[in-house]
Amino acid sequence: MEKLCIRGGAPLRGTVTISGAKNSAVALIPASILAESPVIIDNLPHINDVQIYIDILQELGATVQLDGSSLYIDPTNISPKPLLNGKVQMLRASYYLMGAMLGRFREAVIGLPGGCNLGPRPIDQHMKGFEAMGATIESQDGALSLSASHLHGEKVYLDVVSVGATINIMLAAARAEGLTIIENAAKEPEIIDVATLLTSMGATIKGAGTDIIRITGVPKLLGCRHSIIPDRIEAGTYMIAAAITGGDVTIEQIIPRHLEGITAKLEEMGIQVIEEDESIRVIGDRPHTYRSVDVRTGPYPGFATDLQQPITSLLSLSRGTSIVTDNIYTTRFRHVDELGRMGAQIKVEGRSAIIKGAQGLKGARVKASDLRAGAALVVAGLAAKGITEIAGVEHIDRGYDMLEEKLKALGAEIWRKDERVNSHGA
Residue 305 as a binder of ligand EPU (CB under 6 A): the answer is: yes
Q: Work out how close the CB of 356 gets to ligand EPU at its nearest, in angstroms, rounded to a whole number.
A: 26
Residue 343 makes CB contacts below 8 A (sequence gap 6+) with: 358, 360, 361, 362, 364, 384
3, 92, 265, 334: which one binds ligand EPU (CB under 6 A)? 92
One of 109, 116, 271, 324 is an active-site residue; which one? 116
Whether residue 116 lies in the annotated active site: yes
Selected binder of ligand EPU within 238, 290, 329, 400 (CB under 6 A): 329
- Listed in sequence order, the residues at least 6 apart from 280 whose beta carbon sits closer than 8 Å to its beta carbon are 235, 239, 250, 251, 254, 256, 259, 263, 273, 274
Q: Nearer Cβ to ligand EPU, position 271 or 403?
A: 403
**Residue among 18, 31, 47, 165 that touches ligand EPU (CB under 6 A):** 165
Tell me the window of 101-109, 117-125, 234-242, 403-411 that interacts with ligand EPU (CB under 6 A): 117-125
Report the residue from 154, 193, 231, 306 that binds ligand EPU according to the rule CB under 6 A: 306
Asked if residue 75 has a cis previous peptide bond (ω within 30° of 0), the answer is no
Residue 394 in the binding site for ligand EPU (CB under 6 A) = no
Report the site for ligand EPU in 120-139 (rule: CB under 6 A): 121-126
Choose one: 143-151, 161-169, 211-219, 288-296; the region binding ligand EPU (CB under 6 A): 161-169
Q: Which stretch binds ligand EPU (CB under 6 A): 5-13, 148-156, 163-171, 217-225?
A: 163-171
Rounded to an integer, what distance in angstroms lies between the CA atom of residue 113 and that of residue 164?
12
Q: Sort strands 70-74 and 39-42 into parallel, antiparallel or unpaired.
A: antiparallel
Nearest-angstrom CA–CA distance, 326 and 296: 6
Select from 64, 373, 70, 49 the least CA-distant residue to 237.
Answer: 373
Alpha-carbon span 108 to 100, nearest angstrom: 9
Q: CB-based burial of residue 70 (10 Å sphere; 0-12 exposed, 13-18 middle, 19+ buried)? A: middle
Residues at the site binding ligand EPU, with contacts judged by CB under 6 A: 23, 26, 92-93, 116, 121-126, 160, 162-165, 186, 233, 305-306, 328-329, 371-372, 399
Catalytic residues: 116
